[in-house]
Amino acid sequence: MNIGVIADTHSKMRPEALEVLKGSELILHAGLIRLTLVELAVP
C-alpha cells in the first residue's frame, strides 16, 4: 500500500505536493488543517 503523509498546509495545497501524493492509496494529514481544505482530490 502506498501511503502519503502531509502536514502544516495552513489551507494551501501546493501543486508540487499534489504531484507527490498522486498514486497514494491513503493520505494522512499530520496537523494544522482548516476545514476548508477538505477538497483534496487525488485520483
17 φ/ψ sector (left φ>0, alpha ψ -120 to 50, else beta): alpha
How far is the C-alpha of 26 from the C-alpha of 4, rounded, in Å? 6
Q: Please give the pLDDT value at position 36.
A: 47
Q: Please give the pLDDT value at position 35.
A: 47
* Pairing outcome for strands 3-6 and 26-29: parallel
Domain count, the chain: 1
Q: Please give the pLDDT value at position 25.
A: 94
Domain range for residue 13?
A: 3-37
pTM surpassing 0.85? Answer: no
- Decide if 42 is inside a domain: no
- Decide if 18 is inside a domain: yes
Residues of the chain falling short of pLDDT 50: 35-37
